[in-house]
Structure 1
Amino acid sequence: MTTKRGAYIHIPFCDHICYYCDFNKVFMKNQPVDDYLDALALEMRGYGKEGRPQTIYIGGGTPTALNETQFERLFTAIERYLLNPSVKEFTVEANPESLNEAKLDIMKRFGVTRLSIGVQTFDDRLLKEIGRAHKADDAADAVRLAQSRGFDNVTLDLMFALPGQTEASLHESLQQALSLGTPHISIYSLQLEPKTIFYNRMKSGKLRLPGEDIEADMYGQIILELERHGLHHYEISNFAKPGYEGVHNSMYWSNEEYYGIGAGAHGYWNSMRYANAGPVKKYIERVRERGNGRVSEHPVTVTEKMEEEMFLGLRLMKGVGIKNFKEKFGESIEHVYGEQIAQLMRQELLTERDGRLAMTQKGIFLGNNVFEAFLIS
């Protein structure tokens, strides 16, 4: 059975907690890691029976926080239950301080095609400020080590609008990132999320962030600099050389379905969005009881699917296909969203080109305004 789907696998364990992170994560020490890997394998087995995915993405937490024996166990289960010989992309997130030759060789042996290395910035002062465990040289060394072990498809994860970050510091980080020659860079502005150290500092007035105008200037600098070096801007926060666009994440933005596997993972399957138990022990118990970790399910209505098609699809620079919308939903995009489209076009935030609706350059900087216009439920 071959349908377009992906699989996201969550490894919640971390050796330390970054100050901005709101993903489901726990300190590695004293955690039931082996029991967790058993539960993952059981959940994988169930989804694998539904059909093996075209893309696999292992995220966290910190997947590379697992030791080599645990790492091998994880990939053995993936190979047994999920890995498709014709997989289009197999990505693993890695932190510089926990990536080594042995783990790279395990990933290469099991068919991993892409690494996402969490660099965030090449400014040592800022790395300390945001709670990262590595230094800039560690990140550069990790990238070069991966390249030396045969990984040519490496993406760097960077951040901007960090506390105390200047445009000069951002420029220097971009230059160091570009000097490594990776074919893909993802770069996100800092988002303050509840239950994070940074959020608590902000609430108490102890966090100094760049203003909105400086953040916009930084974003403009990012676009110009990365495109000038041959990395085309294909999604709001993602830049790639031709042929190196992220396949798995593009499935999210194209509103395709995917399995969510692991503690706190979210999935979208058979028109159902679901969430797994977040606490590690609760997830393990849930999987042992019923074969998956789900604790909530939401049937997605046609109206919700249309909304998602728009606010996810418009993250892509190519936008949303007008004909494809009609084929998917049986209604024209003009009939459903004609008023919103006309208003956004008058505001010069949206344009139509080559049979697609896409954000203008102005719209890219005001993306949230555009997305909100398509929420009709």
Structure 2
Amino acid sequence: MPEAIYIHIPFCEQICHYCDFNKVFLANQPVEEYLDALEKELIATLEKNPPQKIKTIFVGGGTPTSLNEQQLERFLSMIERHLLPFATSDLEFTFEANPNNGLHSKLSILKQGRVNRISYGVQTFDNELLKTIGRTHRKKDVFEAVEEAKKIGFTNISVDLMFSLPGQSFAQFEETLDTAFSLDIPHFSSYSLQVEPKTVFYNMRRKGKLALPAEDESATMFELLIDRMKEQGYKQYEISNFAKPGFESIHNLTYWNNEEYYGIGAGAHSYVANKRNANAGPLNKYINMVEETGFAYIDVHEVTKNESMEEELFLGLRRASGVSKKHFYNRYKVSIENIFGKQINDLKQRGLLQETDDFIQLTRAGFLLGNEVFQEFIGIS
């Protein structure tokens, strides 16, 4: 059974221009009814597939800290009743948060509710760029939010950073990194802007109103990111994630290790009992479906052995450690070379993969062209 659970809170007080996650404006939304549905789905899910232990809980969004104090307390009491009895002693419990004003009391509530990891959506420290991408916080707010979390007792703090933003220069990203390191926190996630459908930026680009850095400049920013993180003692343990020793995200490693996980909430995905499930995204549809059946699945797909082997490659190669040949054989009873030998050799010749006695890994060039590498393993087995 899964040892990880993701819970989705879709409410936002501001919709960012790049965001394509399932989200809605907070104002006038049925928040209490949504929390009712969350609990009902959680109970039904655990009854259908009872966990033996829970090692990681991740609450994402949306903006989970858009819940008011009473709603946060209600939500955390739900977690305490239904999930904490299964929690391991080293449970990683992550809450996403926006570094806005007025977080102190909410952070205290989270700490009391056994949350032990905070992930701040910062993206950049440049105030003009923050306005451009639709964020409401400013540089000073980030420092205050991180300091608040530290004062309350959080030691595991992560910050999201983006590069290749509209109008962003190499020098601006370099300054963002300098500022980020001054926060003295143990984890960063950093990734290039991707313009997704149904976003403000997508519509702007269609109209020719979105000026983005050139592809080669974006690659140069990524190389700067890799080098500067290493200089500062952060290990790149996954393409977009960097941590001080012992602070790697256990929850996200669940995905990259191709392990199963529960997913609760509107638009959430799960991987349980060899099935990948997708929940309804629209709020009212989700609430009504859960009210009727306890679940909100709009798609259920049983993963075949071939699909699982492909996922093992394109998910596992995201890790710096790569894919273990021994683990692959133990899981699928066939050697990785028998299934993907041609693709691996081709990518090695192109300088995108490297091989040790037991691991297949991305090279530095492979990190820069990750999506191109992963595509080679999809739909071929």
Contact conserved, 1:39 with 1:284, CA < 8 A, in 2?
Answer: yes
Query: Is the partner of 1:24 in helix, strand or coil?
Result: coil
Q: Which amino acid aligns with 1:64?
A: T
Distance in structure 2 (CA, Å) of the matches to 1:176 and 1:149 = 22
Matching residue of 1:341: 344
Counterpart for residue 376 of structure 2: 373
Task: Give, in whole Å, the separation in 1 of the partners of 2:206 and 2:377.
Answer: 31
What does residue range 138-287 of structure 1 map to in structure 2 within 5 Å?
A: 138-287=141-290
Aligned to 2:20: 22
Question: Do residues 358 (structure 1) and 361 (structure 2) align?
Answer: yes
Q: In 2, are the aligned partners of 1:116 and 1:154 still within 8 Å (CA)?
A: yes
What are the equivalent positions in structure 2 for 1:314-333 lying under 5 Å apart?
314-333=317-336
Cα distance in 2 for residues equivalent to 1:4 and 1:40: 18
8 Å CA contact retained: 1:351, 1:360: yes
For residues 274-305 of structure 1, the C-alpha deviation after alignment (integer angstroms, 9 at most, x for no partner) is: 11110111111111111122121011111110
CA distance in 2, matches of 1:309, 1:78: 31
SS at match of 1:30: coil
**Distance across 1 between alignment mates of 2:345 and 2:260:** 30
User: What is aligned with 1:53?
Assistant: 54
The amino acid that maps onto 1:5 is E
Q: 1:307 aligns with which of 295, 310, 317?
A: 310
Q: Which amino acid in 2 is paired with 1:15?
A: E
- Counterpart of 1:33 in structure 2 is 31
Deviation at 1:5, TM superposition (A): 2.3
**Are the counterparts in 2 of residues 65 and 98 from structure 1 also a CA contact under 8 Å?**
no
What SS does structure 1 have at the residue aligned with 2:379?
A: coil
Aligned to 2:292: 289
Provide the C-alpha distance between the structure 2 equivalents of 1:156 and 1:297, rounded to a whole number of angstroms: 33
Shift of 1:101: 1.6
Pick aligned residue for 2:7 from 6, 9, 14: 9
Alpha-carbon displacement from aligned partner over 1:315-372 (angstroms, at most 9, x marks no partner): 0000000010011111110000011111111111111125110001111111111101
Aligned residues of 1:64 and 1:99 also touching (Cα < 8 A) = no
**Structure 1 residues not aligned, in runs of 5+:** none
- Structure 2 SS opposite 1:54: strand
Across the two proteins, how many residue pairs are aligned to each other?
375
**What TM-score, normalized by structure 2, do the two folds share?**
0.97
Percent of pairs with identical residues: 52
Partner of 1:131: 134
Letter in 1 for 2:150: Q
Distance 1:374 1:95, change over 3 A: same
Q: Which residue of 1 aligns with 2:80?
A: 79
Distance 1:47 1:188, change over 3 A: same
- Show CA shifts across 1:254-274 (max 9, x none): 000001100000111001001
Corresponding letter in the other structure for 1:297: V
Assess if the C-alpha contact under 8 Å between 1:88 and 1:247 holds in 2. Answer: no
**Deviation (angstroms), 1:53:** 2.5
Relative to structure 1, the CA distance from residue 69 to residue 137 in structure 2 (aligned partners, 3 Å threshold; closer, same or farther) is: same
